[in-house]
Amino acid sequence: MTAKKLITAGGVSIVFLFIAGCTDKPVLYKQGEYQGKLDSQPWSNAQFKGERVEWEKALKARSQGQDEYSRAATSAN
């Protein structure tokens, strides 16, 4: 009788073990939060060597280049 109970208990536990194997893995997804790869800063490279100020200077110079009034004034001087 005890052996039969043991076999039944063992069988039931094996069934539960198999069922547990079929369940989904816990999802780490968080609603509303970016889940992708992290991006690096545009100044964190060999050209700017992490110098944000240098990068901003380069960009500002380019931005000012879009103003033909200031370009004309510079070339006139």
Q: Among residues 1, 27, 33, 76, which is the contact residue for another protein, using CB under 8 A?
A: 33
CB nearer to another protein: pick between 18 and 69: 69
Q: How far is the CB of 67 from another protein (least distance, A)?
A: 4
Q: Does 45 bind another protein (CB under 8 A)?
A: yes
**Whole-number Cα distances in Å, 54 to 41, 46, 59:** 13, 12, 9
Q: 41 with 53: CB under 8 angstroms?
A: no
Distance of alpha carbon 38 from alpha carbon 44, whole angstroms: 13
Q: Does 39 bind another protein (CB under 8 A)?
A: yes
The residue ranges that bind another protein (CB under 8 A) are: 29, 31-45, 47-48, 55-56, 58-60, 62-69
